[in-house]
Amino acid sequence: MIIAEPYSASPVGEASRGTAAEVSINAKSGTGVIPTGETEVTIENKYVANNNQIILMPISDNQNQVLFLKAKKASSNTTPGVSNREASPDGTSEASLISGWFKVGIDKPIGNNLEFKWWLID
């Protein structure tokens, strides 16, 4: 389980101070948390594509706040002629993959961590 706090995570497991909640993960489903008092979290993921649907479901008290997708940016690579599916994020190919991300939010901060599940659907 990945829990996002008001820190920035570079590779999974390595957290550093940041101004917004952020987490990096390389799966097509997972869990996230909007920390108490925050209104959004950014989840980095190599599988985010322009044609993905992102399904969100709260699994803790959302205090009647609607959980929604605020923004997303598809993964891309910086190597001409190599598709994103051929690009390897672990550096084993010559392609350089830039991880995509999506931002999950609520309108107003709440008094508890808001846990949610998410799925990327092709």
Q: How far is residue 66 from each of residues 49, 70, 80, 100, measured CA to CA in Å? A: 24, 11, 40, 24
d(CA 5, CA 78): 30
> How many domains does the chain divide into?
1
Which range marks the domain in which residue 101 is found? 7-121
* Residue 1 within a domain: no
What would the pLDDT profile of 14-31 be if each residue is shown by its tens digit?
A: 333 334 566 666 579 999
* Residue 92 within a domain: yes
In which band, very low, low, confident or very high, does the pLDDT at 57 lie, cut at 50, 70 and 90?
Answer: very high
User: How does DSSP classify residue 28?
Assistant: S
What would the pLDDT profile of 64-90 be if each residue is shown by its tens digit?
A: 999 999 999 999 875 555 555 554 445
* Residue 61 within a domain: yes
Place of tokens 């829990």: 3
Higher pLDDT, 90 or 115: 115
* Residue 90 within a domain: yes
Closest CA to 113 of 20, 24, 6: 6
- Residue 100, pLDDT score: 93
* Residue 2 within a domain: no
In which band, very low, low, confident or very high, does the pLDDT at 1 lie, cut at 50, 70 and 90?
Answer: very low
* Residue 70 within a domain: yes
* Residue 113 within a domain: yes
Cβ–Cβ under 8 Å, residues 98 and 46: no
**Verdict on whether the full-model pTM lies above 0.75:** no
